[in-house]
Amino acid sequence: MRARFGLGLALFLVFQGLFLLTASGRVNRIADEFEVYLQVESLWERGSLAIPQVPPQLFFGKVGRDGQPYAPYGPGVAFLALPHHALARGTAWALGIEPTQVAAHKEWLAALTSLASSTWAALAVLALFRAALALGASQRRAALVAALLGGATLLWP
């Protein structure tokens, strides 16, 4: 049992490291990225999934019944990225990156929040490893299947 835990942890750490090293850390290239980030920011700051901070010329979601703009995505990703956003805000405070330093503060928050996909992808690798073991696969086969998920699919963020 201890070896299974160690191998699972090793898989998670290897893929978390790989995904972190290859992640862009930027969310301002396309609307799919920045609208999800703005959902997280809005959820943290206003307790709402509305994204009024999107410039009208870039907005491509839907206007809700309350007249507020919403991204065309469900709330799941925003909720899953909240822990990373909290970590980003905490580290910004600890490092002295003040909200008055608008560009640096926003870049820091966006970069660390965007790494949520790396963590969830690495957790998916770990989950597949554990599921394969539960279905009777050997440790070697379970690790191989999990590694294929992490390295040879669109899961790679």
3-state secondary structure 51-94: CCCCCCCCCCCEECCCCCEECCCCCHHHHHHHHHHHHHHHHHHH
For residues 144 and 138, give the distance between their C-alpha atoms in angstroms, rounded to a whole number. 10
pLDDT tens digits for range 79-116: 999 999 999 999 999 999 998 898 899 889 988 888 88
Q: Which of 59, 64, 31 is nearest to 49 (CA)?
A: 64
Residue 50: DSSP 8-state? B
pLDDT tens digits for range 107-157: 899 888 888 889 999 999 999 999 999 999 999 999 999 999 999 877 776
pLDDT tier for residue 31 given thresholds of 50, 70 and 90: low
Q: Flag whether pLDDT at 11 surpasses 70.
A: yes
For residues 112 and 88, give the distance between their C-alpha atoms in angstroms, rounded to a whole number. 5
What's the gap between Cα 157 and its chain centre? 9
For residues 53 and 93, give the distance between their C-alpha atoms in angstroms, rounded to a whole number. 22
